[in-house]
Amino acid sequence: MSEAPLQPAIRPASTWKRVLASILDFLTVFFGAGWIIGKLSGETTPDGFALSGGTALALFALIVVYFYAGRKRLGGTIWDRIFGIGRPQPY
| Tens digits of residue pLDDT in 35-78 | 999 999 999 999 999 999 999 999 999 999 999 999 888 888 99
pLDDT at 2 over 80: no
Asked whether the beta carbons of 43 and 52 are under 8 A apart, the reply is yes
In this predicted structure, what is the pLDDT of residue 64? 97
Contact 89, 13 (CB under 8 A): yes
- Put residue 14 in one of left, alpha, beta given phi > 0 → left and psi -120 to 50 → alpha: beta
Q: b/e map of 20-48 (b: 16 or more CB within 10 Å)?
A: ebbebbeeebeeebbeebbeeeebbeeee
Does this model's pTM top 0.85? My answer is: no
